[in-house]
Amino acid sequence: SYVLTQPPSVSVAPGQTARITCGGNNIGSKSVHWYQQKPGQAPVLVVYDDRDRPSGIPERFSDSSSGNTATLTISRVEVGDEADYYCQVWDSGSDHLWVFGGGTKLSVL
């Protein structure tokens, strides 16, 4: 099965840039999607297909992917960005066809 690896936590000061990584075998060849989940709430799609954002998601959220690492970049971080972030890919060879990373807690200090 395909495995996605995320750091458990990332900390950043308001106004700075946060980078959350998602590691997977040759993930650069896959389409990667990112979700934001605030406490007690459902996940929200913030980036899909490596670069696109749903309506209402600010341009501060972007993604890049190469080799074995995908990175969600949040520019000019705000206190309201504090949340858990999950990467996700689709892998036809996996038992779990839709594969999630373990999640990263973003703390805005």
Partner 1 sequence: EVQLVESGGGLVQPGGSLRLSCATSGFTFSSYDLHWVRQAPGKGLEWVSVIGTAGDTYYPDSVKGRFTISRENAKNSLYLQMNSLRAGDTAVYYCARGFMVAGANFFDYWGQGILVTVSS
In the complex, the smallest distance separating the C-beta of residue 82 from partner 1, rounded to whole angstroms, is 17
Task: Indicate whether 43 belongs to the interface with partner 1 (CB under 8 A).
Answer: yes
Tell the residue number behind the tokens 């990373």, with chain if given.
101
Residues 75-104 that bind partner 1 (CB under 8 A): 86, 88, 90, 95-103
C-alpha distances in angstroms, 94 versus 5, 66, 87, 100, 109?
15, 21, 16, 12, 37
In the complex, the smallest distance separating the C-beta of residue 69 from partner 1, rounded to whole angstroms, is 18
- Which segment (13-21, 45-53, 64-72, 75-83) binds partner 1 by CB under 8 A? 45-53
Q: Considering CB under 8 A, how many residues would be counted as binding partner 1?
A: 24
In the complex, the smallest distance separating the C-beta of residue 15 from partner 1, rounded to whole angstroms, is 29
Q: Rule CB under 8 A: choose which of 35, 46, 53, 61 binds partner 1.
A: 35
**DSSP track, 14-52:** TTS-EEEEEE-TTGGGS--EEEEE-TTS--EEEEBTTTB
In the complex, the smallest distance separating the C-beta of residue 77 from partner 1, rounded to whole angstroms, is 22
**DSSP track, 61-87:** EEEEEETTEEEEEE-S--GGG-EEEEE
